[in-house]
Structure 1
Amino acid sequence: MPSLLELNVSEIHADPNNPRERFPQEELDRLAESIDQVGILVPVVVYPEDGGYRLLDGERRWRCAQILGHPTIPAVVVSPPDEASRLQQMFNIHLVREQWQDIPTAHALKKLIDETKVTSPSQLSAMTGISTQQVNRYLFALSLSGDVWAAVESGQVPLNYFYEVYKAFIQPLESDRPAIFAKYGRDQLLKNFLDKRSSGAISDVVSVRDAKYIIRKAAEDDPDNTKPGPLDDTISRLIDDPELSVKDAYEETVMVSIEADKLEQRADNLVAAFVRLLDKAKTDVDATSQIKGVANGLIAKLTALL
């Protein structure tokens, strides 16, 4: 049964496998200032090991106690967990409070997979409390290699960038234009989009999403993948030219068609809104007149435009 004790700070040792790998000094300084004023309000969690105690949760508080020269620290002592249980507890503890960074979380998930042999995203989600979508994202991170992995691990490029490239460009490409995908493969495509990021051709995640519209239209023009067309050339240029942005490729090819489709949908919704309003206002002459005035004004603006 867990017990609350006041332990010597020197008796407690950090967990070398803690997924939280970085402890920025400015964060520790802020927390130390708070602890100096009000004390440690939330005990650390430890378990007995080798005549001392191993941290399960609370390494920042423990580090701050050392900084402040506190001889003791409040601690909840629990039974030593097995490795799989320890990792699950760490996931669940940290999800309640501060999130780990992407790469430490991915490393922790890999350790949990190695210990439990569980690979199903839904099962891993149930074990860790992380959503299935996030589990898939971390599994994707673990599959990275070379320069792409180095860029993510160093923090040079956020994981979200490559995950968005994978979902919005690589997956549709593999599904709808398999010949182009086969020419490069996933890892080379990710590397090329790293080069685009480095060149400044792509600076945000959102713009990557327009790539799927180019691929979708190419598939509509050639559903059997037998007659590559101009859009396939654009896709290849987008892959090969580190200076060509998704935004430019989108605007020079399918933007007008895609935006026209969206405009048609908005127009249909607008007509439906007028129908609903006129139906509700049919017994109110003034309201009906107002709605018709708005409609006639819109018609006049469109007529002048066209």
Structure 2
Amino acid sequence: MDKITNGTLQEIPIDKIIRNPENPRTIFRQNELDSLIESIRQFGVQVPISVFKKGKNYVIVDGERRWRCSLKLNKKTIPAIIQEEPSPLNNLLLMFNIHALREQWDLFTIAKKLPEVINLLKEEYDKTPTEREIAAKTGLLISQIRRCKVLIDLPDHYKDMLLDELHKPKSKQRLSEDMFLEMEKAITRVEKNIPDAVSSDKNFVRDILIKKYQNEVIDNVVDFRLISKIVGGLKIEDGREELTRKTLKKLFNDNNYSIRSAYQDSVSDLYLEKDFLSRIHSLINRFDSFEPSDLDTDTKLALESLITKATKLLEDE
């Protein structure tokens, strides 16, 4: 038996090990396990798992994938570092800090456990923890915590839909976490600014947008951001509310009307003009950094062409 600073390293019987019921990670895709199974078949478990003793068994803190793969290979024992049993809060926080930033973790699995972490921290602090305090304890970024809260607040029907999708290989997933996050952000923006554009049943709008996304009427997750730009057009120019409302109501109905079409029909001209004006101001500011002697022939010709076109635009106004 070897001694190490943070616990005892032993080969322990694999049938004495149980998964940690508090482990946020619940999705283990077979195609992602296959390469690890092959590695363990050839080289064994190179990195010990971490466990704590619970009665006659050992509960996993870190290394459930290695344990699952070893079971598949009918291994009798597995190298493990045995730690002291943590408190319920520390049990959760240990796994969050070990795993939270690992690429293979799905955000939704973290989101499902986050309310439990918040409740345990609330007991410890005797108050609701701030996002900064949650981040410090879990190792999550504040932006990740906010994204988790959006997923937590989804109605159960959509959470089940997302969970079913997450069991598929990544390449076959269509209704991703990002899709739900972008969709919720867009609907919330509309709800705050033009509430009557969203029907009394918010789930109806969700269902329409999901159906359009599945049927590729909406073909890119990023397209949802154009809904926020449609709403944002109200701040660029007054008198657009009725057109915006009409466009969004059409978008939120069962048809082949896409987000990009809604954007083109409502605010694309506004953003084109805004971008054009921004470029003009930028060009004017650049003029101050030049002297006549700095201009070569090509630049002078380009400026003369610009003056001609600008003059014609102003005369035709």
Distance apart, 1:293 and its partner CA:
4.1
Q: TM-score, normalised by structure 2?
A: 0.80
Q: Secondary structure at 1:221's aligned position in 2?
A: coil
CA distance in 2, matches of 1:149, 1:105: 13
Q: In structure 2, what is the equivalent of residue 85 of structure 1?
A: 90
Q: 1:210-221 alignment to 2 at 5 Å?
A: 210-218=226-234, 220-221=237-238
Q: In structure 2, what is the equivalent of residue 10 of structure 1?
A: 15
Residue identity opposite 1:190 in structure 2: R
2:179 to 161, 166, 177: 161
Contact 2:50 2:83 in 1 (8 A): yes
Q: In structure 2, what is the equivalent of residue 266 of structure 1?
A: 279
Distance apart, 1:134 and its partner CA:
1.4
Distance apart, 1:172 and its partner CA:
2.4
Distance apart, 1:273 and its partner CA:
3.8
* Matched positions, count: 294
Distance apart, 1:114 and its partner CA:
3.8
CA distance in 1, matches of 2:100, 2:286: 44
Superimposed CA distance per residue, residues 48-102 of structure 1 (whole angstroms, 9 cap, x where no aligned partner): 0121211111011122223334333221111111222111110110135344113
Structure 1 pair 165/41, CA: closer, same or farther in 2 (3 Å)?
A: same
Q: 2:134 aligned with 1:124, yes or no?
A: yes
Q: In structure 1, what is the equivalent of residue 197 of structure 2?
A: 180
Q: 2:221 aligned with 1:235, yes or no?
A: no
CA distance in 2, matches of 1:249, 1:49: 59
Residue identity opposite 2:270 in structure 1: S
Q: Structure 1 stretches of 5 or more lacking a match?
A: none
Identity %, equivalent residues: 28
Alpha-carbon RMSD:
2.9
Residue identity opposite 1:189 in structure 2: V
Q: In structure 2, what is the equivalent of residue 292 of structure 1?
A: 299
CA distance in 1, matches of 2:38, 2:156: 41
Contact 2:50 2:82 in 1 (8 A): yes
Regions of 4+ moved over 4 Å: 300-303
CA distance in 2, matches of 1:85, 1:132: 20
Q: Secondary structure at 1:91's aligned position in 2?
A: helix
Contact 2:22 2:91 in 1 (8 A): no
Contact 1:147 1:191 in 2 (8 A): no
Structure 1 pair 271/62, CA: closer, same or farther in 2 (3 Å)?
A: same
Q: In structure 2, what is the equivalent of residue 50 of structure 1?
A: 55
Q: 2:111 aligned with 1:106, yes or no?
A: yes
Contact 1:43 1:73 in 2 (8 A): yes
CA distance in 2, matches of 1:97, 1:103: 14
Distance apart, 1:35 and its partner CA:
2.6
Superimposed CA distance per residue, residues 241-290 of structure 1 (whole angstroms, 9 cap, x where no aligned partner): 442111001111210121121122123223434543x25xx7xx5x5326
Contact 1:6 1:72 in 2 (8 A): yes
Q: In structure 2, what is the equivalent of residue 38 of structure 1?
A: 43
Distance apart, 1:198 and its partner CA:
3.1
Q: Structure 2 stretches of 5 or more lacking a match?
A: 1-5, 123-127, 166-173
Distance apart, 1:45 and its partner CA:
0.5
Q: Secondary structure at 1:74's aligned position in 2?
A: strand
Q: Secondary structure at 2:252's aligned position in 1?
A: helix
Q: TM-score, normalised by structure 1?
A: 0.83
CA distance in 2, matches of 1:210, 1:295: 34
Q: Mean alpha-carbon deviation: is it higher for 247-256 or for 12-21?
A: 12-21
